[in-house]
Structure 1
Amino acid sequence: HEKNYFYTVDVLFGTPSKSEFLLFDTGSYLIWTQCLPCVNCFNQSAPIFNPNASSTYKRIPCDDLICRRPPFRCENGQCVHRINYAGGASASGLVSTETFTFHLKNKLVCVPGVIFGCSNDNRDFSFDGNIAGILGFSVSPFSLLGQLKSTAQGLFSYCLVYAYREMEATSILRFGKDANIQRKDMKTIRMFVDRSSHYYLSLQDISVADHRIGFAPGTFALRRNGTGGCMIDTGAIATFIQRGPYEVVMRHFDEHFTSFGRQRMHNASEDWEYCYRYDSRFRAYASMTFHFDRADFKVEPTYMYFIFQNEGYFCVAISFSDRNSVVGAWQQQDTRFVYDLNTGTIQFVPENCANDHFL
């Protein structure tokens, strides 16, 4: 079974507090969790949040100024949200406030009055079990980053643990002073934010196995209509490349594996187009490098493939997109990222994220 690997944050909701795991999503502008009573809910292992059982839960009324700001609106006398995600999933429910509690070092920190979506109609999500909702972390006033403005001060940092090696390991999401991590080998790239509050990087070119493809300037530029561009997104399971360049990149991967006698397995996977017969003795996996305007981000082979040993194949962890290119979570593993909204930069350096502990 092709497992979905998602990175989650443990958030304690309400009073008394209840633990819910939310998908850590730098590509999303709202926080929401599934709420009773359900109209449509996906399966989750923890009990679904019951707002009636919390003394600090409040609905935001229709006449509140917040309800006039997209993505919120007034419907039948209630302030509601509805979000549509790439891939067709949607979440809708009541705009509310609640006390969130976070594990910080060896203490718990309460943040009262966090605005979130109490979502009771959630369709077409591929979450399996652990996840209860989404922790939006984009540059929006309603993301967690936006709501922790005074603490975060435009700085946050994360390091995604390598899933195949450390299924149970945790790493730490850092804000503000705690996120200001300096390492000698850190590279810096420019980051900019579009109207939809995503984090965009200026991608110039791509290499496969150290062979630079040589895309024409502007191939990955963000266009006025919102298509194109290259964003970085922890909520995307892997990397997506817009259709034309995708075909070129994958042809290079295919030529690489064919030259080593790897047999392509068409239709092996529903999700990934370029899959090959797995052999435990095979070692010549190709790396991939994103050439950004100021620095190169080389993704070592370890973080470029989904390996399905039992089924006897492996897949290149890249798919195509009709809108934007995306550097997703799989390719970000074992790299320390520091986002600084004040300088408009992202810094990164390789790190074994399983060793990430409170300072």
Structure 2
Amino acid sequence: MEITSSTVLLLVAGVLVHVLPTTCTAVRGFSLPLVANHGGGTYRVDADGFMIVNTTSFHHRPFLTAPLRYMYGVAVTIGTGHGKSTHFLVLDTANSLPWMRCAHCLPVQRQRSPVFDPSHSSSYRPLHPTNPLCRPPNRVHPAGDKCSFHLPREAHGFVGVDTIILGNPTLPIHGIAFGCAQATEGFDTKGTFAGTLGMGRLPTSLIMQIKDRVAWRFSYCLIGPGHSQDRHGFIRFGADIPEPPPLGHHRIKILPTPAHFPHGIVDSAYYVKLLGVSLNGSPIQGIHQTMFERRHDRSGGCFLDAGTETTRLVPAAYTLVEEAVAHMVQQWGYKRVRDRDFLLCFREEPGIWSRIPRLRLDYEGPPTRHGEPTRAHLEIGSRRLFVKVENKQLLCFGVYPTTSRHPTVIGAMQQVDTRFIFDLRANTITIHPESCEDDTEPAPSEW
């Protein structure tokens, strides 16, 4: 995940703490607070549930960088000899190394909690370079008598292990590996974040390090703007994951790394096969699955990532989607408006929200017991496709193009109010609509 001014995903995940050794029993299930922090107060939601953004705070964005700042993070409690403190890590389902800023990390940036100092934790120790985790395909490698990591445009430093406390009541799990950053390169704390929580598919991710304790499963349901200041959701593991409804859920197949690909860090993400895109149930002509396939050089492809702020489509597909959406709205007499911050906008006029189409993404599902192919569908309604730009009286499209070689990414804005259940043993992602606000609790006052 590239952390930009529009990446806002907070997830209160594990807790690295200074504790005395204890006997650790198997964990069947637990939940960790999932916190939303959408744009530092630049967002609000109207009475009809539509997101309103004020673009006067957008400055000096790179070309084609989405101005939307959806962020979710995990609040991790880290104990030291000076007492416990809560840290917030950006939730990242595309990378596979949990890391945080450690003592003397440069450049100096403000974050919500004190910077973690491993010298104050008696249970912390550096990861030995001979450890199996300190080798490819992970982004870690031996460096003398230590193990180092380097995440381009994000951070670099050394890898250590400590005890992580999970769930309530808390349970310590010893020897969890994470990166201790000595320098950050492009990572913006937003005055809050201490690092990222890698939940990808490689051995160094949090989920892969605890997979046998939680049956290889985790789940989240992202709340939208409007509740981020006073309530938090959950990332749930193992037996704490709610069962999907008997009807109305779909299973997306997680693609294996092709046999002819050498395994590498790009395999960290949850790649899926996107078959097509529809508007109001009608397929958009010209879009075909080959647009979203991974190439022999491992470029392209499509994956889901809660750490990317909004959906990004390869240019060929994006152009067709934008044209189809624009045509469908314009045929009702609404005029398109140019804007420097968004690629597709309309003047806000009476009745226009009822004319915004529903977008549907069609995926390959796992085969049936008889080997028959199946399909899964992610429905995206108008509240997750368009936003109101308050200072300009515009409605603007919240989907963006990527470059031709970069993958298509289904981002956080289009995942709101959908339950995602990742089953890494079955290689499936189960999805179904859900009011994610119903699975929240009031945020503690100390946050």
Q: Does 2:133 correspond to 1:73?
A: no
- Tell me what 2:200 maps to: 138
User: Aligned partners of 2:205 and 2:424: how far apart in 1?
Assistant: 14
CA positional deviation for 1:319: 1.2
Q: What does residue 201 of structure 1 align with?
A: 272
Match for 1:252: what amino acid? A
Aligned equivalent of 2:292: 220
Q: Map residues 1-12 of structure 1 onto 2, 5 A cutoff.
A: 1-2=57-58, 4-12=69-77
Deviations 1:293-329 (A, max 9, x none): 3122111111112333234333211111221111111
Query: Is the contact between residue 41 and residue 120 of structure 1 (CA under 8 Å) also seen in structure 2?
Result: no
Write the deviation string for residues 137-173 of structure 1: whole angstroms up to 9, x where unpaired.
1111110101112212211111111224554321111
Runs of 4+, deviation exceeding 4 Å: none
Cα distance in 1 for residues equivalent to 2:74 and 2:350? 34
| Residues 1-359 of structure 1 mapped to structure 2, 5 A cutoff | 1-2=57-58, 4-15=69-80, 16-69=83-136, 70-75=138-143, 77-84=145-152, 89-102=153-166, 104-105=167-168, 107-179=169-241, 181-184=243-246, 185-194=248-257, 195=263, 196-214=267-285, 215-269=287-341, 272-279=342-349, 282-283=352-353, 284-293=355-364, 294-322=375-403, 323-356=406-439
Contact 1:41 1:123 (8 Å CA) reproduced: no
Task: Identify if the C-alpha distance between structure 1 residues 173 and 263 changes in structure 2 by more than 3 Å, giving closer, same or farther.
Answer: same
Q: Is the 8 A contact 1:21 1:130 kept in 2?
A: yes
Between the aligned partners of 1:54 and 1:280, the Cα distance in structure 2 is 59
Question: What's the CA shift string for 1:74-97, capped at 9, x where partnerless?
Answer: 33654210012xxxx221111111
1:262 to 1:128, Cα distance in 2 relative to 1, 3 A? farther
| Preserved CA contact (<8 Å) 1:334 1:352 | yes
- State which drifts further: 337-346 or 241-250: 337-346
Secondary structure of 1:192 counterpart: coil
Deviations 1:208-265 (A, max 9, x none): 3433213234232222222232111111111010111111111112223333444444
Q: Partner amino acid for 2:387? A: F
Q: How far apart in 2 are the matches of 1:280 and 1:160?
A: 30
Relative to structure 1, the CA distance from residue 41 to residue 265 in structure 2 (aligned partners, 3 Å threshold; closer, same or farther) is farther
* Distance of 2:393 and 2:132 partners within structure 1: 56
Deviates more, 1:153-162 or 1:273-282: 273-282
Aligned partner of residue 278 in structure 2, secondary structure: strand
State the one-letter code of the partner of 2:424: L
- Summarize the Cα distance change of 1:278–1:100 in structure 2 as closer, same or farther, 3 Å threshold: farther
C-alpha distance in structure 2 between counterparts of 1:343 and 1:65, whole Å: 24
- Count of residues paired in the alignment: 350
Deviations 1:95-142 (A, max 9, x none): 11122223x24x223222210011121122345222211101111111
> How far did residue 64 of structure 1 move?
4.1
Per the normalisation by structure 2, the TM-score is: 0.72
Q: What is the alpha-carbon distance in structure 2 between the residues aligned to residue 186 and residue 11 of structure 1? A: 31
Query: 231-240 vs 117-126, which deviates more?
Result: 117-126
What amino acid is the match of 2:126? R
Aligned twin of 2:46 = none
Compare 289-298 and 206-215 and name the one that shifted more: 206-215
Deviation at 1:8, TM superposition (A): 0.8
* Post-superposition offset of 1:11: 1.1
Q: Which runs of 5+ in 1 are unaligned?
A: none
Shift in CA distance, 276/12, structure 1 to aligned 2, threshold 3 Å: same
Please give the secondary structure, in 2, of the residue aligned with 1:246.
helix
Distance change in 2, residues 1:311/1:131 (3 Å): farther
Equivalent position amino acid for 2:76 in 1: V
The Cα offsets for residues 35-81 of structure 1, whole Å up to 9 and x where unpaired, read as: 11022254322222222232222222445454344411233654210
Deviation of the 1:331 alpha carbon: 0.6
SS in 2 for 1:139: coil
Amino acid at match of 2:284: I
SS at match of 2:224: coil
Q: 2:239 is paired with a residue of what secondary structure? A: helix
Following TM superposition, by how much is the alpha carbon of 1:338 offset from its aligned partner in structure 2, in angstroms? 1.2
Aligned-pair identity (%): 27
Mapped partners of 1:73, 1:314: distance in 2: 47
Distance 2:146 2:225 in 1: 41
Secondary structure at the aligned position of 1:4 is classed as: coil
Q: Give the Cα separation in 2 of the matches to 1:338 and 1:41.
A: 37
Give the secondary structure class of the aligned counterpart of 2:240. Answer: helix
